[in-house]
Amino acid sequence: MIGKRIYSGSPFEEMAGYARAVVDGDMVYVSGTTGFNPETMSFPDSVEEQAELCFHNIQRALVQAHSNLENMLRVRIFVASREEFDRIKPIIKKYCDAARPANTTIICDLAEEQMRVEVEVTAKTVHRPQGNER
């Protein structure tokens, strides 16, 4: 298996057989991350709260990968409606402004009805990993 796997403990990772993030060399690939609250095991009702949690959960994975939001190269935003996208634009700016990553936003249905937004990130690590990781 190439690279290091990072897990958040989300039940979705186990159900679908994926990692929250994969570190390969100096790159970090963060899976689509929703606004799932791991403490309450639920989704907040508002798209704004979910967007905040998306970036919070992504930042936690990036830190484990020796990176952070300022090292983002690409972000993909999947959101359930244009109206909700308008509401989360300031939140996206808040978390992306320092890095100014390439961005793609898609209006779409998400995997679970209560999901309103999902964010996927590609970032660089702060330093190269040691050992057998590429």
Burial (CB < 10 A; 0-12, 13-18, 19+), residue 31, is buried
Report pLDDT digits (tens) over 44-60.
999 999 999 999 999 99
Residue 130 has pLDDT above 60, yes or no: no
Determine the pLDDT at residue 10: 82
For the chain, how far is it from start to end, CA to CA, in angstroms?
A: 11
User: What's 41's domain CATH number?
Assistant: 3.30.1330.40
Q: State the residue range of the domain holding 9.
A: 4-124
CA pair distance 53, 51, nearest whole angstrom: 5
| DSSP alpha helix (H) spans, 65-101 | 82-96
In a domain, 131, yes or no: no
Provide the domain count of the chain. Answer: 1
| Residue found under tokens 């403990």 | 9
In a domain, 69, yes or no: yes
CA pair distance 35, 49, nearest whole angstrom: 7
- Stated as kind and residue range, the H or E segment containing 50 is helix 47-64
In a domain, 134, yes or no: no
CB 19 within 8 Å of CB 7: yes
Report pLDDT digits (tens) over 64-82.
999 999 999 999 999 999 9
Q: What is the average pLDDT value for the chain, to the nearest integer?
A: 92
Confidence of residue 31 (pLDDT cuts 50, 70, 90): very high
Residue 133 has pLDDT above 50, yes or no: no
In a domain, 19, yes or no: yes
Report pLDDT digits (tens) over 86-116.
999 999 999 999 999 999 999 999 999 999 9
In a domain, 87, yes or no: yes
Residue 132 has pLDDT above 90, yes or no: no
Closest CA to 12 of 112, 108, 106: 112
| 109 Cβ neighbours under 8 A, 6+ residues apart | 80
Determine the pLDDT at residue 134: 46
Q: What is the pTM of this model?
A: 0.90
Residue 129 has pLDDT above 60, yes or no: no
Task: For the chain, give the percent of residues with pLDDT over 70.
Answer: 94
